[in-house]
Amino acid sequence: MSNHGGGIKRSSWLTFRRRLLLVRALLRGPATSADLVGAINRELGAQGYPEAAAAALKHDFDALKGEYGCVITYNRPARQYALEDLGELALLDLPDDSLEALAFLEASFPAGSGHPEHTNLRALLERVVLLLPPTRQQQHRRRRSATRLGGGDGGGRIDLDTLTIVKYAVEERRELAFAYLSTFDADLPRHHRVAPYGITFRPEGHGYLDATVLEVTPRGGEAIHAAIDYRLDRIVAATVMVLPTVLPPIRPTPPSYVLRYTLVSQVACRRDVAVYFPNTQISYHDDGSAEVTATITNFWQARQILLRYGDACLVHAPPELVTLFQKTAAGLGRLYATE
């Protein structure tokens, strides 16, 4: 009796092991039945599948589906089996920190980015997620969307061809032309010819082309030779063109201005005022306020940055920036005016 019982136990164990090996083989990727039988037999030798393996293989697939909830599909034209879902066999779990790291990687290398070098990484991430139990997969999906929001992916998507061409122009130091829809262009984009110098990203997630304006048609308020940060997602796709003209060795220097502003005690009293501009000097006063001086070349950018302080920041110089703030304040006054 005991021998018989041991035989059953050994047989059950072998069957279980064979099914786990089958799952492991499928985790490597879709496979034909011959591939699978070969992989199992290499591991188990004489204890693997018998010569007529088709029925035993089907039996194992049925068991994996019925007993463990695995989802295995068959691609008839390719004659391949693929593991779509591990069901109860999703045995991998990860600490929350690792799930956060996984979400960060997913957000950094989004699906459908079209970059060949991202393809393998995406496949790896998808494999790892597939190994997680369903509840952890759901947590991961929620975390992933939160990470994307936190990363400021809320802006318009940058056209990848545009990004590639712009980067090429920056590296090759060649002039660039494109149609651009600025905040102040209602519907019709205008044609810009620029000297491109770099690409930057801001905390809110938008990507910008740092360029010197050479020509704008039709002309707007842009000063020729001014340094402008063009939002990459507002460059009209398929209009960007690298021109033959090589940039001069020295960048046409945009005029620089001394920026001076005061931060009220409420934001400066802890003496940890943020540095947002080159050549920043901060003087803290006894009343808790701070006076900041720095150098800027771009009024619009300076205004965007300083607006984060709301009414806790008073700009004294340069006069052009003060005028810009006055216009903004008047506009806000109109928007929020109470009857």
Partner 1 sequence: MAQQLPVAQALPDGQQRLLEGWLPLAQMANLRYGWGLSAADLEALIVVAAPRLRGAQSALEAQAILWFTYQRLKASIL
Q: Is 301 in the site for partner 1 (CB under 8 A)?
A: yes
Q: Give the total of residues touching partner 1 (CB under 8 A).
A: 51
Buried b (16+ CB within 10 A) or exposed e, 7-36: eeeeeeeeeeebbebbbebbeeeebebebb
Q: Is 207 in the site for partner 1 (CB under 8 A)?
A: yes
Closest CB 291 distance from partner 1, rounded Å: 7
CA–CA separation, 40 and 119 (whole Å) = 29
Buried b (16+ CB within 10 A) or exposed e, 210-235: bbbbbebeeeeeeeeebbbbbbbbbb
Q: Where are the beta strands (DSSP E) in the chain?
A: 71-75, 80-85, 174-180, 190-201, 207-217, 227-231, 241-246, 257-263, 281-284, 290-296, 313-317
Q: Which of 26, 86, 176, 199 binds partner 1 (CB under 8 A)?
A: 199
Q: Is 321 in the site for partner 1 (CB under 8 A)?
A: no
User: What part of residues 116-175 is at the interface with partner 1 (CB under 8 A)?
Assistant: 151-153, 163, 167, 170
The mark string for 87-116 relative to partner 1 (x by CB under 8 A, - otherwise) is -----------------x--xx----x-x-
Q: Is 233 in the site for partner 1 (CB under 8 A)?
A: no
CA–CA separation, 165 and 123 (whole Å) = 27
DSSP code for 240 = -
Q: Is 245 in the site for partner 1 (CB under 8 A)?
A: no
Q: Is 283 in the site for partner 1 (CB under 8 A)?
A: yes
Q: Is 198 in the site for partner 1 (CB under 8 A)?
A: yes
Tell me which residues touch partner 1 (CB under 8 A).
Answer: 104, 107-108, 113, 115, 151-153, 163, 167, 170, 197-208, 210, 227, 229, 250-251, 253-254, 256, 274-286, 291, 295-298, 301, 305
